Amino acid sequence: GAGVSQSPSNKVTEKGKDVELRCDPISGHTALYWYRQRLGQGLEFLIYFQGNSAPDKSGLPSDRFSAERTGESVSTLTIQRTQQEDSAVYLCASSYGLDPYEQYFGPGTRLTVT
């Protein structure tokens, strides 16, 4: 079936505005992950969902970041009052869940905060 999709592919926003990033996982994948990747850096774990629950929110950088998932499908990552340091590519990945664990990544959303 279709792979992981993310929207928008690019987002330019002014400092202080809120943004919403969307992820559609592969159908049937129960686990969903959000990562942040700054230019030239590795992947920084943000949050993961098992079903609609988020057992581990430890990676969220601040309380300006939140995420939700509904219907064990679509997930939205919201960044409030964006700052320039939020500029990065935000990657979503999904997997079947507990076993196997292999993650498949979406194309990412490139966020630029001006």
Partner 1 sequence: QKEVEQNSGPLSVPEGAIASLNCTYSDRGSQSFFWYRQYSGKSPELIMFIYSNGDKEDGRFTAQLNKASQYVSLLIRDSQPSDSATYLCAVKITSYDKVIFGPGTSLSVIP
| Contact set with partner 1 (CB under 8 A) | 31, 33, 35, 41-43, 45, 48, 50, 55-56, 91, 97-98, 100-108
CA atoms within 13 A on the CB side of 111: 29
Cα separation values, 93 from 59, 80, 81, 99, 104, Å? 15, 22, 25, 15, 5
Q: Which of residues 12 and 15 has its CB atom nearest to partner 1 in the complex?
A: 12
Q: In whole angstroms, how close is the CB of 65 to partner 1 at the nearest point?
A: 16
Beta bridge partners of 66: 78
Q: In whole angstroms, how close is the CB of 99 to partner 1 at the nearest point?
A: 9
73 with 24: CB under 8 angstroms?
yes
Beta bridge partners of 35: 45, 91
Q: Which of residues 31 and 79 has its CB atom nearest to partner 1 in the complex?
A: 31
Q: Which of residues 25 and 108 has its CB atom nearest to partner 1 in the complex?
A: 108
Q: In whole angstroms, how close is the CB of 88 to partner 1 at the nearest point?
A: 13
